[in-house]
Structure 1
Amino acid sequence: MTVNRQILLTENPSGKLAESHFKLSEGTVPTPKDGELLVRTRLISLDAANRAWMQGATYRAAVDAGTVMAGGSVSEVMEAKAPGFAKGDLVFADTGWQDYAAVPAKGAQKLPKMEPLSHLLSVYGIAGLTAYFGLLEVGKPKAGDTVVVSAAAGSVGTIVGQIAKIKGCTVIGIAGGAAKCKMLTDELGFDAAIDYKAEPVGKALRKAAPKGIDVYFDNVGGDILEAVLFGMNNFGRIACCGAVSQYDGAAPAHGPRGIPGLVVVKRLTMQGFIVMDYADRHDAALNELQGWVNSGKIKVKEDIMTGLENTPKALVGLLAGDNVGKRMIKVD
């Protein structure tokens, strides 16, 4: 019998996440029931949301200590006990951090076979679709607008900024470190980049966006959200995608100041969203994303690590901002 390696969450951390909160275990390969697929994981998606799931239920159930760490993956079907699927198919499913999983077929999304396979998790996966719908449907950018993106060197932020440029906007990225900021402007075409580790964000935004900010794509929340709020123009739009600054560690001493006063005075729109809200339009979005990638208008940034055993290290590093682009684990 083939061994099923699994990464278990051994305890829910009260402070910062560490590799010690996980352990590598060995289980048996599950047998799929009627309506299920037995899949083998190929690429595991790593996202800041993984950390949020440890804190309680969100748009999915919380991850309990002692269970396989939750996470989505690109997986290969090994056995299908449901119509519409066959051995060898590729699917995206909530498999968790393990070699094999039995997943409900109704929750598995069939994927096309393509090279590189990694694009199915980055630009054609949740990251790309989140960027697409969050910016275009929530942010509603118009040509000539000034768009600011936080966590701009991450999986979603790199794509948001490039789509905003395609739409004729001035784009300012906020990222941590000079190397990331240089990458944003030199490689991805951002008009400006602010290193939040090196300078006050509010002051830098006033210089980079002297006419104010029309659209803010927020991946971090916290103090950066506060700084951007004060620079928003009347009737500005804020797409609330995540709050990674508040996922890992102790709760912040205060929330972003300026709410609700600035929201009222400037008539701002702040809207949260999740990519599943637009499930019926994914195919159209993917077609457009593929066209932009093929034409060179979107450059894809990926951060691929190898080995299931390195998944905890990879997530801890992602939360610390080590990644550039979409981080994932290639399961060997």
Structure 2
Amino acid sequence: MTLPNTMKQWVYAQPMINSKVSPEQFALVETPMPQPAEGEALVQVKVMGIHPRVRISMAPGGTLQLGQSETDFACAVVVQSRNPLLQEGDVIACQTGWQDYALVSSASGPVGYAPPSASVKELNGTNSQWTYVYRPWLVTQFPAEDLIGLMGTTGLTAYFGMREVGPLMPGDAVAAAAVTGATGSISAQLAKAAGCYVVGFAGGSDKCRWAVEELGLDHCIDYRSPDLGEQVRQAFPDGVDVFSDGVGGPVTDEVFTVMNRYGRVLSYGFSHDIYADEVTARPKRSPNASPEIYRARLRRTFGITDDLERIVQEKQLKVEAWIVSDYYYDRLQAENDLARLVDTGRLTPVNTVFEGFDNLPQAITSMFTGSRYGKLSVRFS
């Protein structure tokens, strides 16, 4: 294929004002098209996933500095290669900035994450848990937004998370926060597929109605309700066995009060803080922090306060603060199982896709101003 002479990239150009994200924060730049060196491959980004943590990255003191491009997860196709592991035409998962082309190397480690385990390196054939070649049948069966969503970090967080806090048993009472979000929509459906009684949480009556009608949940609670605690108790008269929580804050506090003894909690995010009126930067992960220290910090970041830790001890709850890539050695089985659930109609990928590279700023802004469902991504080509 004939490549352009330049590549395009969006950068963070102006600080947020009062923690508000708008298209004016971003600027488009062009640079000469890079050429792959020995061991590298040039990829064309097909779909870029957008994560709400970008707002925290953009906060004063955050990881994203002016003039930089956020690194996120992408689905891309190899267009030139000097790496035998990344062949021209391969469709791959990788980390890139907000750009339409990028250089990728199987020798490069992950950006912003600890190195993968030896088993994950062997499976991927790369030094990053996020860089791997999709199997051809997946590329044929699923569009790129599903590869980066359902088959990416969000879907696999739900799959491995619900598996590890399980087993999910028919009749289990499951509370699922953020069911209109990327991971919550999948974890709630996985619980329904296992025969559980599932109550979701969403913001507003329209989203709650969507969760019941489109995801097939038994009930959905508006987390903004002034009588949130009473609604939780009414929805779970016999308590909660499993809680899928990517939110933290009041929803987490209320659900913990009705958790059954020996209940299980998947804690994978902190959207209550991400979507707060004011956001502050989070400290970077220390490369020397032990896994135990890191997990303890994750629990606090995800809203497991000292008061909730006391409930954990009293009720002997199993609480997993989630690092999805720990389980990527079993990624092929996860892909197989998720695809089978889609094939049999028991799981529906949920995506909001913006079309066009030029619309990336609008896509990011929409995450904090508009109504979206499932995984937000931008299709570049």
TM-score (norm 2): 0.80
Name 2:132's counterpart in structure 1. 109
Aligned 1:123-162 pairs, distance under 5 A = 123-162=150-189
Task: Report the Cα offset of residue 125 of structure 1.
Answer: 2.0
Matched, 1:250 2:279: yes
Name 1:74's counterpart in structure 2. 75
User: Larger deviation: 219-228 or 291-300?
Assistant: 219-228
User: Larger deviation: 108-117 or 31-40?
Assistant: 108-117
Question: Which consecutive unaligned segments of at least 5 residues does structure 2 have?
Answer: 107-125, 281-300
Task: Report the Cα offset of residue 237 of structure 1.
Answer: 1.4
Matched, 1:197 2:224: yes
Matched, 1:3 2:6: yes
* One-letter identity of the residue aligned with 2:379: K
Name 1:34's counterpart in structure 2. 38
Quickly say closer, same or farther: Cα 1:319–1:220, change in 2 above 3 A: farther
Percent identical among aligned pairs is 31
* One-letter identity of the residue aligned with 1:91: I
User: Larger deviation: 40-49 or 314-323?
Assistant: 314-323
The alignment covers a number of residue pairs equal to 328
Task: Report the Cα offset of residue 227 of structure 1.
Answer: 1.6
Residues 177 and 195, structure 1, Cα contact 8 Å, conserved in 2: yes
Residues 21 and 55, structure 2, Cα contact 8 Å, conserved in 1: no
Name 1:210's counterpart in structure 2. 237
Name 1:311's counterpart in structure 2. 360
Residues 241 and 259, structure 2, Cα contact 8 Å, conserved in 1: yes
* One-letter identity of the residue aligned with 2:7: N
Name 2:374's counterpart in structure 1. 325
User: Larger deviation: 44-53 or 289-298?
Assistant: 44-53
TM-score (norm 1): 0.91
Quickly say closer, same or farther: Cα 1:133–1:15, change in 2 above 3 A: farther
Matched, 1:16 2:19: yes
Q: Render the CA deviation track for 1:154-198: whole Å, top value 9, x for unaligned.
A: 111111111101112110110112222112111211111011234
Whole-angstrom CA distance in 2 between matches of 1:323 and 1:145: 29
Q: Render the CA deviation track for 1:74-125: whole Å, top value 9, x for unaligned.
A: 1111111111222111111101110111122234211132243322122222
Task: Report the Cα offset of residue 53 of structure 1.
Answer: 4.3
Residues 229 and 258, structure 1, Cα contact 8 Å, conserved in 2: no
Residues 202 and 231, structure 1, Cα contact 8 Å, conserved in 2: no
Q: Render the CA deviation track for 1:235-266: whole Å, top value 9, x for unaligned.
A: 11111110012125336xx9657323222222
Residues 123 and 129, structure 1, Cα contact 8 Å, conserved in 2: yes
Quickly say closer, same or farther: Cα 1:199–1:293, change in 2 above 3 A: farther
Matched, 1:219 2:268: no
Whole-angstrom CA distance in 2 between matches of 1:85 and 1:14: 42
- Picking from 48, 72, 81, the partner of 1:44 is 48
User: Larger deviation: 268-277 or 62-71?
Assistant: 62-71
- Picking from 270, 273, 286, the partner of 2:322 is 273
Aligned-partner SS, 1:258: helix
* One-letter identity of the residue aligned with 2:252: L
Residues 77 and 89, structure 1, Cα contact 8 Å, conserved in 2: yes
Name 1:85's counterpart in structure 2. 86
Aligned-partner SS, 1:187: helix
User: Larger deviation: 16-25 or 72-81?
Assistant: 16-25
- Picking from 163, 179, 182, the partner of 2:209 is 182
RMSD over aligned CA atoms reads 2.5
* One-letter identity of the residue aligned with 2:80: E
Aligned-partner SS, 2:308: coil
Residues 74 and 92, structure 1, Cα contact 8 Å, conserved in 2: yes
* One-letter identity of the residue aligned with 1:46: I
Residues 128 and 159, structure 1, Cα contact 8 Å, conserved in 2: yes
Whole-angstrom CA distance in 2 between matches of 1:54 and 1:239: 27
Whole-angstrom CA distance in 2 between matches of 1:326 and 1:62: 23
Task: Report the Cα offset of residue 15 of structure 1.
Answer: 4.8
- Picking from 193, 209, 228, the partner of 1:166 is 193
Quickly say closer, same or farther: Cα 1:11–1:276, change in 2 above 3 A: farther
Name 2:312's counterpart in structure 1. 263
Task: Report the Cα offset of residue 283 of structure 1.
Answer: 0.3
Quickly say closer, same or farther: Cα 1:56–1:259, change in 2 above 3 A: farther
Residues 19 and 59, structure 2, Cα contact 8 Å, conserved in 1: no
Normalized per residue, the structure richer in helix is 2
